[in-house]
Structure 1
Amino acid sequence: MSTWKLDPNHSEVKFKVKHLVVSTISGNFNTFSATVDSNKEDFTDAKVTFEAIVDSIDTKNGQRDGHLKSADFFDAANHPAITFVSKSFKKKSGNNYELNGDLTVRGTTKEVALAAEYNGTVKGFGGSFDVAAFEITGKINRKEFGLNWSALTETGGIVVGDDVKIEVLAEFVKA
C-alpha cells in the first residue's frame, strides 16, 4: 500500500456561491490536509481522507468570514472541521474519475459524488520523490448540510445561493 500526503503549499481548497443571484463570491480554506492510500498506479483502489479547518475560511472580507464561522453558517466553535472520507474512486474515461464519499459539514454527513481529473505522476525536484496531482470539482446544496441562514433583499432577491461549487487543486507526495 502506498500512502500519499497532500502538499498544502502546492494545493488549494476553493468554493464559490452566488450572492444576490447575479454575482459570485469565492473563498478558500487556508488550513487543510488529505491522505490517499492506494496499491494501484492509476489510483482506482484509492482511499481518500480530507479535512479542512473551518476557522481558516478566507473570502477576503473579515466581516463575512466571521459570519461564515458563526452559528448562522459553519458554527466553527462546535464543528471545527469539514471532513471527507471516500467510498470509491472510479475511472470514467481517460484521466477522468468519479470520487464518491461521505462529506461531513456542521455535523451532517451526506454522500457526495465529485469529478476528479488525474493530472499524472512525476518525479519531484531532485528525482527523489513522486508527486501526483488531481483537480476535484463538484457542487453541493449548503442547506442539506444545515447551513440554512438566508435573507432577502428589499426587492425580494436572495442574498446567498443554495448551491456551492467546490474546487480542490491537490498535489500529493508519496510518503
Structure 2
Amino acid sequence: MAPTKWVVDPIHSEVQFRVKHLMITSVSGYFRNFNIVAFTPDEDFSEVEEVVFTADVNSISTNNVQRDTHLKSPDFFDVEKHNEIRFVADRYQHVNGSRYKLHGELSIRDVSKPVTVDVEFGGTVVDPYGQTKAGFTVSGKISRKEFGLTWNAVTEAGSVVVGDEIRLHAEVQLVKQTV
C-alpha cells in the first residue's frame, strides 16, 4: 500500500521563533512562506515515514523592516547565498498520549545538524469541504551559533544584544492528498 501524502494548509498554519533581546525581553518573528510535506502509512499519525519542512528566508518577518533586512544580510542568514531553511525528519517517536518527538536534520546556511522537536498531535477531522486535515503543535529550541548565526554586539554594561537560544513554535494543519 502506498503511503498517504499530506501537505501544509498555509492559511491555517504558522511558523514562529523567539529570541532574547538585550537578555531582558524576547523578539518574535515568523516565516510568511514555508512548505511541509509528510508521508504516513495511515491517517492516525501513529507512524510517520518522512516529513520535509522548508522555509523561504526572504519571507522572514519580525514586524520591523530594518531588523528583517539585517537578518537577511551576511551577518545572519545571508539570503543571497542561503535562501532556504530545511528540516528533514526521519524518525517519529511516541512519548505518551498525543505527544511525540520528531527527529531529523536541520540545515541553515551551510550547516546541518540533528535536531529533535516536540510534537503534540491534535487529531484529524474532515472539514466542511470534505478535506481530511491533521493538526499539530510543534515546539523546540536550537542554538543559533551552532548554525553559523554568530553575529552579536555588546552593550556598554556588557550584556549581549541577541541571545543564542532560539525557541521555535509552529501551529500546523496538514491536508491529506487524494490520488
TM-score interval (norm. to shorter)? over 0.9
Aligned to 1:141: 143
Letter aligned with residue 166 of structure 1: L
TM value normalised by structure 1:
0.97
Aligned to 2:173: 171
Q: For 1:147 and 1:42, locate their aligned partners in 2 and report how far apart those are by CA, in whole Å.
A: 37
- Alignment of 1:120 with 2:128, yes or no, is no
Q: Contact between 1:69 and 1:76, CA under 8 Å: does it hold in 2? A: yes
Aligned to 1:150: 152
1:23 to 25, 30, 40: 25
Partner SS for 2:152 = coil
How far off its partner does 1:154 sit?
Answer: 1.0
TM value normalised by structure 2:
0.95
Q: Flag as ranges the 4+ runs of structure 1 deviating above 4 A.
A: none
Alignment of 1:14-163 (within 5 A): 14-46=16-48, 47-126=50-129, 128-163=130-165
Q: For 1:44 and 1:129, locate their aligned partners in 2 and report how far apart those are by CA, in whole Å.
A: 20
Q: For 2:149 and 2:54, locate their aligned partners in 1 and report how far apart those are by CA, in whole Å.
A: 18
Q: Which runs of 5+ in 2 are unaligned?
A: none
Q: For 2:167 and 2:87, locate their aligned partners in 1 and report how far apart those are by CA, in whole Å.
A: 16
Q: Contact between 1:43 and 1:89, CA under 8 Å: does it hold in 2? A: no
State the aligned residue count.
Answer: 174
